[in-house]
């Protein structure tokens, strides 16, 4: 079973996805966050395109809880 199959079946339930894919829960949570961020950015770009003002350039990811901009090293880079 792939991640997208598990996500379609269980939704954003990190425990169920981790059990289905036989991975750790925090890894499933990171995959879910990536999927949800991608969906959000895609929807936002579609909304802007429909309004005739597509965003040009790179859009960053949505900040997560506990994000510290002063911290220079981290797994999210």
State how far the Cα of 36 lies from the Cα of 34, in Å rounded to an integer: 6
State how far the Cα of 45 lies from the Cα of 35, in Å rounded to an integer: 15
- Calculate the CA 67 to chain-centre distance: 15
* pLDDT tier for residue 22 given thresholds of 50, 70 and 90: very high
Sequence-separated (6 or more) residues with CB below 8 Å from residue 61: 37, 41
Q: Residue 40: its pLDDT value, please?
A: 86
pLDDT tens for residues 26-44? 999 999 999 998 888 888 8
């Amino acid at each position: 079973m792939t991640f997208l199959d598990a996500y379609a079946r269980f939704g954003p339930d990190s425990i169920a996805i981790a059990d289905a894919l036989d991975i750790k829960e925090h890894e499933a949570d990171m995959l879910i966050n990536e999927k949800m961020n991608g969906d959000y950015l895609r929807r936002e770009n579609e909304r802007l395109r429909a309004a005739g003002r597509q965003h040009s350039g790179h859009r960053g990811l949505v900040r997560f809880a506990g994000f510290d901009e002063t911290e220079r090293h981290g797994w999210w880079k």
